[in-house]
Amino acid sequence: MDNRQQRFEVMRQRCEAAGQRHLLRFWPGLSDDERDALLADLEQIDFVPIQRLVETCVRNIPPHADFQCIEPAPFVPRPDPDHPSDETHAARDEGWSLLRAGRVAALTVAGGQGTRLGFAGPKGCLPVSPIRRKPLFQLFAEQILATERRVGHPIRWYIMTSPGNDDATRAFFREHRAFGLDPGNVVFFPQGVMPAFAPDGRILLDQPHRVALSPDGHGGSLLAMARRGVLAEMAAHGIEYISYFQVDNPLVRCLDPLFVGLHAQRGSEMSSKMVPKSDDLERVGNFVLADGHVRVIEYSDLPDSLAHARNPDGSRRFDAANLAIHVLSRGFVERLTRDAEAFGLPWHRAEKKVPCIDLGTGQRIEPAEPNAIKLEAFIFDALPLTQTPSLILETDRTEEFSPVKNATGVDSLETAQRDMVRRAARWLDVAGARVPRRADGEPAHPIEISPLAALSADDLRARPPPTVNGPTYVE
Ligand code: UTP
């Protein structure tokens, strides 16, 4: 038996054992290259839990967790930028010294498909800054570079890709010479994949020789870090804290000394940033304390009575929105994934339109209605697995959060650019510049501040304020 035939035999047995024999239906008519492609797809699938998953999450809808007792999650209020407390000072100092000692790494999850945005290429390559059109990846690279210069120590940046965008992401960094970072400190690793299922539990084929696979969710980052040797290489570099953020938020503070410092001082294993919700039903995850543990309950799962609940003073009772900005302790991720085969976050089920092959005719179907079940794991489901209380830090939405999710409307490139200009104008106000405003209060001109010039408003205080009488780029 040649090597291909041996691999086929292994896969045939696995598919049969998992009730997925149809995946090899077109094998006899495939060319050698197509057979190799199909085997490579099948080898990425973890077949062991598939049958159980089909029963629990595909053919049936998993029941919502029923918590006996849901309370608002406690959080550290947003520090007053003009009068920081002693605790804030001490935590920020601690964060800077951890950065100086090389104990902190950045982690960007960039494996998503960005279907809502519809940009051709990895989302991190999207030109986003209002004047220079810097891509998201460049904005993060420059923040990391600016932090390296300040602490005098290299900082490792881990970027989780997916099998579908890994090559393009690496090529983009090569083409741009890692935006000034030492390429040896930028580490790419692909996440795992999950097949799409027909409602009857059969895995869908994208083509007769390709399985319909998609990335397994940002929660897949934990297992991917373990399986791809990232945790081991973090340990070898003395990295203890992982500053986690999503690729689609150009306002994110990639390495926030205050957040890292508080996380370390409190002995938290997984910390999170939150902002007050903009309305009761805002489509965000809510931080709650459920049966004594911090968790995130998605807006769609938060009962209306809780979403509208009020405190005695009239304020919103469940008011903490999840920004998907976390610090994770490396030791925590190691503990969770020590037995990688046994570890798993819960799967979230979504009904989607997935083009696929009709198993009878071999013709491709472009569905008009959702025809498939996709399963994804979410990072916030690691929160209840911590053994120490989780820190939640309140922050200012206008300073740190404006994601690019959609092509138009809310959370689009347009709103993110607007929010970048607004923030830049506020920072220049703090620095004493005269920023002209239009009648509606918006800055009269586009303004962009390079992360290499300032990581916060405070960084601008030390320099003479620029004159703003047209589009302004602060370098
Ligand atoms: P989203 O949930 O917004 O998904 O991801 P998405 O894939 O980017 O966009 P849509 O839903 O298809 O329009 C939030 C963050 O998590 C990352 C994304 O890259 C983004 O930074 N992510 C998501 C992954 O890294 N892997 C995944 O499997 C899913």
Contact 244, 219 (CB under 8 A): no
Contact 108, 95 (CB under 8 A): no
Question: Of 264, 268, 221, nearest to 244 (Cα)?
Answer: 221
Mean pLDDT, rounded, of the chain: 96
Q: CA-to-CA distance for 264 and 266, rounded, in angstroms?
A: 6
CA of 218 to the centre of ligand 1 (A): 7
Pocket-forming residues, ligand 1, beta carbon under 6 Å? 109-117, 123, 160, 191, 215-218, 220, 246-248, 376, 405
pTM tops 0.85, yes or no:
yes
C-alpha torsion 301→306→308→309, nearest 10: -170
Half-sphere exposure of 260 (CA within 13 A, CB side): 28
% of the chain surpassing 70 pLDDT: 100
Q: CA-to-CA distance for 186 and 352, rounded, in angstroms?
A: 34
Q: CA-to-CA distance for 319 and 351, rounded, in angstroms?
A: 28
**pLDDT for position 5:** 95
**Section 93-106 average pLDDT:** 98
Pocket test for ligand 1, best of 117, 158, 405, 406 (most atoms within 8 A of CB): 405
- The 10s digit of each residue's pLDDT in 327-366 is 999 999 999 999 988 899 999 999 999 999 998 888 999 9
Residue 19 above 90 pLDDT?
Answer: yes
Contact 443, 425 (CB under 8 A): yes
CA of 111 to the centre of ligand 1 (A): 6
- The 10s digit of each residue's pLDDT in 263-301 is 999 999 999 999 999 999 999 999 999 988 999 999 988
Q: Give the pLDDT band of residue 159 (cuts 50, 70, 90).
A: very high
CA of 241 to the centre of ligand 1 (A): 22
% of the chain surpassing 90 pLDDT: 93
How distant, in Å, are the alpha carbons of 158, 187, 233, 328, 347 from that of 228?
12, 11, 10, 18, 21
In SS3 terms, 325-347 reads as EEEEEHHHHHHHHCCCCCCCCCC
> What values do phi and psi take at 296, rounded to 5?
-110, 130
Residue 1 above 80 pLDDT?
Answer: no
**Section 86-107 average pLDDT:** 98
Q: What is the number of other CB atoms lying within 10 angstroms of the CB of residue 261? A: 26
Domains of the chain in sequence order: 3-43 (no CATH), 70-402 (3.90.550.10), 412-475 (no CATH)
Q: Which amino acid is at 152?
A: G
Sign of CA dihedral 412, 414, 415, 421: positive
CA of 110 to the centre of ligand 1 (A): 7
